[in-house]
Every structure is written in C-alpha cells, then in structure tokens.
Amino acid sequence: MRIYTTLITCLFIWQFVAQSYQSGAQLLWEISLGNKKSYVWGTLHSNDKRVFDFPDSVYVLLKRSSLVALETDFFKKYKQQDVRLEEQILTLDKRGKMYTSSSRPTKTLFGSEDGTPQFMDAWFQAKASLQETPIIGLLDENFGDLEDNTELFSGERNTIFGRNESALLSDFYLQGNLKKIEAILSRNLVSSLQQEEILAKKEALISTLRSTVEQGNVFFVLGIELLLGEEGVLEKLKSLGIKMRPIQCSYSANPTADELTINSLNHYELLREVNKGGLKARFPGKPLETEGNLNELDFEFKELGQGNTFRIEVLERDTSLSLTQYAAIYIASPPYSPFFLGTMEDGTEYAQGLSDSYPDGLKWVRVIFSESNVAVISCNGGNKFMNSDRPTRFFNQVVLE
C-alpha cells in the first residue's frame, strides 16, 4: 500500500510539474530604460491548455500594467476570417436533426476546439479588454494587410519520435528551451518569404518598442519567434543600451489574488442604447462593435483558439413584418429543418433554427424583436460547439428593451 501511495504521489507531483513552466524558463523579461520598467512575455501561438498555467509574475504584471502591447490587434485582424481550418463534419438526418459522424475536434488555425477558447496572444488581449487596460498593436501600421503566417509548423507534416511536432514545441516552450524552440521554428519556415517576413517584423518592432518602452509599465506580448536569434528583439534591445533581466517562473502554493482576478474575467456584459430602445447581452469577451447604414449595429466576438463566433445584429424594426417573416429572411433553413417558434421566460417570442449560408456554413440563429428593433443573434463553430448548449445559453441572455 505504501509503494502504491508513493507511486500515486510521485505521479501527481510529476503531472503538476509537467503542466507548469520550469523555473529557469527565459520567457519573461524585465526591460529597463532609465527609471522606466516594462516587461515582455514571449508567447507560443497555441491554444494547448498546458501553456496557460502561467507563473505568478505574469498575472501580477498583466493586472498592474497601464498598457498591453501586442504584435497586432488580433480580434480586428480576424474579424473577416474564419479561423477554422476545416469544414464542419455536420449532417442533417431525415427529421432535420443535426448530428456529426465524427467525435474529432475541429481544427483551427491556432489549435483545435478542444483547446483553450483563445490562443495565447488573443487570451492576453481578451483579458486586457475585460479589465479595461488600453491595447495597442505594434505592427498594425506596417503589417496590417499582410497574410498571416503564424502557422509556422505543421504537426501533420513534421513529426519527431512519432509525436506531433506542435505538441513537442509546447513541451520545449514549457521548459523554456529557447534553442530547441528556435530549431523547430527555423526548420518549419519552409519558404524564404516566411523567413523574410519574420525578419521584417523583428526590424519593424525595434523602433516601435523603443518608443513604447519610454512610457513605462507596459506589458509586451510577443510571439517567441520574434524574440529569438541574433536578429531577435531581445538582442536588438540590448544593443540599444536597454537593460534586460530574465524573471524566473515561480508559483505560489495557492492561486494569488491577481491570478484569481484575471481568471474571473470570463464574460462581458453589453448594455447599449439602440434605435430608441436598449440591448442587453452577455458575451464570452468584449465584442467588436461596428455601425452600418440605417442605424444598424453589429456586435461580434470570436474565440480564435476554438474557432467559435458569437454575433448580434440589431436593426430598426419594420412593423409591417411579422416575426415569422423576419425569420424567413434571416434564417436560411436547410431542407427538412425548418425554424421553430418559442417564448423566453420573460415572455419574449423568438424564432430559432439552423441556417445554412455562405460563408459561415451551418450556424444557429435566433430572431427576436421589440417595439423598435429586431435582433438577429447567431453562433457558429466546430462540430462539438454546434452540438452543445452554448448557442442556446448565449441566445437566452440577449434581451431587447
């Protein structure tokens, strides 16, 4: 029994250590310019859940920063792009009920729907937005229109020792093994165009970083590939006389107050006046808001890691149209799967159903209206998301007044 207990204890400790960053990992750096201090965290473009067990210092610095500086504003960058890498494996049966013939999670540009909702860079942006910390995209002005090359490696094409190389990269990242990380990334930058773009990004970052560092108390979130090598950001900043000091990864016995505060930021309560009325909704994060013609408003939030999209479009109501007529316009029902009518707990009537339209493919849509407005609420995502209760839970928290 003692041997068995010891084995379980060792296994538990090994799992705890394996899920945490090693203390000597050089992923967090203090940047000093005169009496101004800022910090840079080197990220991995991944939604692998293991890499989100951040050291205490990361939560402290994110919570107390006066500015969060990322490579780009990721939510704006991917507003018009579907980050799912494959089509949904969804089918409708003869009764119009949706099912999937595969239990495999849908792959996304930054992982899969089994990972964390955001990939790491977007996680920091989402948390900063929810705590109302200002955000800037350091490369937006120079690289806003370039095609994204964050998928620097292909786990299907490259394997080491029979393991998926992306998982191996996560292992090296948790260890802070910069040499092996650099070797994997360099090996997978298969085109000279990719290599030239990474070099151009590094060069563009230097001048922008220098001016931003002068502000002080900035938390920089930069892809690890931009920090590495002789031409990397770390070496370039040192050459400019900026002092750099690595900060060890350490963990308290219990979650710190800053960690608890940051992790509790998991939704955004939207309250907006629209067209002589009001809109209330709860999003998984702070949505992007755009205004169209004829007083139309659009609110959208994407889980870039898992590839799920939450959207509300609000437009002025045409009182000559019934709820059923509005549903016929905005819900493109597939064969054998007509929309249905229902009533919410507060008495609001709604029309809801599957809609199949380009470019989203299958998505869930609910239509509601008030005296002056109509809201078209939609959700789409991977196989598991579409077959879950998350769309309905989102719909139930949208109210027009």
For the chain, helix, strand, coil in percent to 5 are 30, 30, 40
- Could you tell me which of 79, 80, 65, 74 has the C-alpha nearest to residue 122? 74
List strands edge to edge, sheet with 277-283. 268-274, 277-283, 399-400
Q: Based on the domain organization, do 142 and 275 belong to the same domain?
A: no
Residue 249 lies in a domain: yes
Q: Based on the domain organization, do 236 and 321 belong to the same domain?
A: no
Pick from 203, 238, 261: which residue ends a domain?
A: 261
Residue 17 lies in a domain: no
The CATH number of whichever domain residue 369 belongs to comes to: 3.40.1000.10
Q: CA–CA distance from 340 to each of 309, 349, 369, 381, 392 (Å)?
A: 22, 11, 15, 21, 13
Which segments of 44-162 are extended strands (E)? Answer: 67-70, 90-92, 98-100, 107-108, 111-112, 135-137, 159-160
Q: Based on the domain organization, do 212 and 70 belong to the same domain?
A: yes
Residue 9 lies in a domain: no
Whole-number Å distance between alpha carbons of 182 and 229: 8
Tokens found for residue 187: 């090996």
Q: Based on the domain organization, do 91 and 217 belong to the same domain?
A: yes
Q: CA–CA distance from 223 to each of 27, 72, 167, 284 (Å)?
A: 10, 11, 17, 24
Residue 205 lies in a domain: yes
In the chain, which residues have pLDDT < 70? 1-19, 86-102, 142-164, 188-195
- Residue listed under structure tokens 């948790």: 174
Q: What is the domain count for the chain? A: 2
DSSP string, 267-326: -EEEEEEETTEEEEEEESSPPEEEE-STT-EEEEEEETTTTEEEEEEEEE--TTS-HHHH
Pick from 223, 241, 261: which residue ends a domain?
A: 261
Q: Based on the domain organization, do 93 and 163 belong to the same domain?
A: yes
Q: Based on the domain organization, do 149 and 290 belong to the same domain?
A: no
Q: Based on the domain organization, do 207 and 239 belong to the same domain?
A: yes
Give the range of the structural domain holding residue 367, as residue numbers without chain letter. Answer: 267-400
**Residue-level pLDDT at 13:** 38
pTM of the model: 0.87
Residue 59 lies in a domain: yes
Radius of gyration of the chain (CA): 23
Residue 2 lies in a domain: no
- pLDDT, tens only, 277-329: 999 999 999 999 998 877 789 999 999 999 999 999 999 999 999 999 999 99
- Could you tell me which of 331, 354, 351, 332 has the C-alpha nearest to residue 341? 351
Whole-number Å distance between alpha carbons of 75 and 290: 13
**Residue-level pLDDT at 158:** 37
Q: Based on the domain organization, do 80 and 180 belong to the same domain?
A: yes
Residue 3 lies in a domain: no
- Could you tell me which of 149, 147, 185, 186 has the C-alpha nearest to residue 166? 185
- Assess contact for 154 and 184: CB atoms under 8 A: no
Q: Based on the domain organization, do 172 and 35 belong to the same domain?
A: yes
Q: Based on the domain organization, do 318 and 370 belong to the same domain?
A: yes
Fill in the DSSP letter of residue 84: B
Q: Based on the domain organization, do 392 and 257 belong to the same domain?
A: no
Pick from 239, 261, 283: which residue ends a domain?
A: 261
CA atoms within 13 A on the CB side of 245: 8
Q: Based on the domain organization, do 176 and 74 belong to the same domain?
A: yes
